Amino acid sequence: MMEKTVRNKSKITSFDVAKEAGVSRGTVSIVLNNVQNIKLRQETRDKVLKVAKKLGYSVNHAAKSLSSQKSYSLGLVTCWKPSDQIFGGAITGMVDSALEKRYGINFCGTISRLGDKGFDTALRFYREGRVDGLLLFMSTLAEDHPPLPMIEKLSNEGVPFILVNSAIQQNTADDISTDNCHVGYTATSHLLEHGHRKIAFLMLRQKTWPFYRAEKDRFKGYKAALQDHGNNLYDDELVLKVDKASSSPETGYRLFKELLNSSKQLPTGLYAAYDNLAIGVMDAAREEGISVPQDLAIVGTTDGYQMVHSNVPLTSAVQPMKEIGSEAVNLLIKRIEGDNSKCFVKKKIPCKLEIRESCGCLSGEAKNV
C-alpha cells in the first residue's frame, strides 16, 4: 500500500502555494504581503489565503526585511504612560492597523520638553534600520511636546514621521489629530439644545495660545456654537481662565469658587476644556449646595487623564483616539512605502459625545431653562 508523504511545513514555499492555488508566485506575493495598489479579484485573494493557511505557509519576514532593507517596524515615541486612558485607545488603533499591513510597533520611549531620551532612542533605531518611521504621539498640552528643533532634525534627516494629536501646529509635518473646534462646538451645542443660555467655559493658559492649539480650538468651537444658537449669547465674564496652572481638579475647583465669589450671574451650564477641570467644578458646587445637573449642567472633554470618581458621572466630548491611531499608522506606512508627496496631510477627526448624568440627560433633569 502506497503511503502519502506529507512535506514538512517548514519547507513549504510560495511556489507550493501558487501551484495548489493555480496562480503565479507573483500573485501569491501580492496577496500575502497585502499589497493594496494592485487590483486582484477578491475570490483570488481568498483562494490564496485559504491555500496558504491549509499548507501552513507564512511570509518569511526576516528574509523579506533583508531583501528589502526594511524592518517592517514602526517606532513609537510618546509623552503618555501605558496606564493613561488616552494611551490605550490610540495604541489599539495603531497596533490593529500595523498588523493588518504586516508591520510591528517598536516602543522607543517617552519624550517631553523635560527630556529627550525617547527621541534619541527613536532616531538611533531609525539610523540602525530597526524602525522604518516614527509615530510621535503627544498630548494636547504644549509642555508635553518635544522642542521644535527635535522635529526639525527629523525632517532634515529625511525620517518619515507623523505627529499624532499634537498640541503644536507644524507646517512641515504630517499631523493626525482631534478636531478640537468640533469638540468645543459639540459640547456647547449639547447644553444649548437643552435650553441653557448662560454657559460658562473653563480654560487655561489664555496668554500662551500660540502653543495651545487644542484649547484655542475648543474655545473657538464654544463661541461658534453660541453664535449659531442666537445673538448676544457670548459673555466674556463667563469665560473662566487662568495662566500657569495645570488641568487638575484643584484648578477647576478654584476657578469655580472665584466665579461664585464674584458678582456675576451664575451660569446654568458649564463646559470645561478638560475633564479634570469639570471634576473640580463638581466638588466646588457640592460644597456650595449647587446640585449637578439640577442647578448646573456640566460637559467636559476627555483628554486622557484618569478621572476622579465623582458622584455624578460626567458627560464628555470624547477624542476618537483609536481612529486617530489607525489613521496615523496608515499614513506613516504610505510614506514609508513611497508616497513622498510634498503636500503634508493635516487631518482632523471629529469627536463623539459620551452622554452620562452631569448634563441632565440620563438623570431626567434635562430641561428648558
pLDDT for the residue 114: 42
pTM (two decimals): 0.76
CATH of region 13-59 = 1.10.260.40
pLDDT for the residue 191: 97
Strand pairing report for 73-78 and 133-137: parallel
pLDDT for the residue 5: 34
Peptide bond into 293 cis (omega under 30): yes
How many other CB atoms are found less than 10 A from the CB of residue 58? 12
How many other CB atoms are found less than 10 A from the CB of residue 82? 9
pLDDT for the residue 56: 80
pLDDT for the residue 263: 65
Superfamily per CATH, domain 180-319: Response regulator (3.40.50.2300)
How far is the C-alpha of 362 from the C-alpha of 170, rounded, in Å?
41
pLDDT for the residue 344: 87
pLDDT for the residue 310: 64
pLDDT for the residue 213: 75
pLDDT for the residue 70: 79
Residue intervals of the chain classified under CATH 1.10.260.40 are 13-59
Residue intervals of the chain classified under CATH 3.40.50.2300 are 71-177+320-349, 180-319
Residues whose CB falls within 8 Å of the CB of residue 149, separated by 6 or more in sequence, listed in order: none
Check whether domain 71-177+320-349 has CATH 3.40.50.2300, yes or no = yes
pLDDT in tens, the chain (369 residues): 333 333 344 467 878 888 899 988 778 877 876 655 567 888 998 999 899 888 887 765 555 555 556 788 999 988 776 666 677 788 889 999 999 888 988 888 766 544 566 778 888 888 888 899 999 987 655 555 556 677 788 888 889 999 998 766 667 789 999 999 999 999 999 999 999 999 999 987 655 544 467 888 999 999 999 999 987 899 988 998 877 667 788 999 999 998 888 867 789 999 999 898 999 999 999 999 999 999 999 999 985 544 545 678 899 999 999 999 999 999 999 999 887 677 889 999 999 999 989 999 865 555 544
